[in-house]
């Protein structure tokens, strides 16, 4: 598998949405291509950062303002 094909499939690979043959081909390419492996690491890191941000609780002040707004400003 070449760099272009890996770039096109990296999202699916990270999602686990590739068949076993494709997964092994991408994995083999990543093991031998530092450029693609760097892209892979960046994408993986970006996904982790987004997951961490999305799962954080909003500050209590913001939650109180939202509750107040929902309750008609009480």
What is the pLDDT confidence band of residue 74, given thresholds at 50, 70 and 90?
A: low
CB count in 10 Å sphere of residue 1: 17
CB count in 10 Å sphere of residue 26: 21
pLDDT surpassing 90 at residue 43: yes
Query: Please, what is the average pLDDT of the chain?
Result: 91
Q: What is the pLDDT of residue 69?
A: 86
Instruction: State the distance between the two ends of the chain, measured CA to CA, in whole angstroms.
Output: 61
pLDDT surpassing 80 at residue 11: yes
* pLDDT: which is higher, 66 or 35: 35
pLDDT surpassing 70 at residue 73: no
């Amino acid at each position: 598998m070449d760099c272009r094909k890996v770039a096109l499939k990296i999202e699916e690979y990270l999602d686990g949405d590739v068949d076993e043959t494709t997964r092994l081909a991408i994995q083999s390419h990543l093991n031998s291509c530092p450029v693609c492996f760097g892209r892979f690491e960046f994408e993986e890191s970006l996904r982790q950062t987004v997951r961490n941000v999305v799962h954080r609780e909003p500050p209590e002040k913001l939650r109180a303002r939202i509750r107040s707004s929902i309750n008609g400003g009480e």
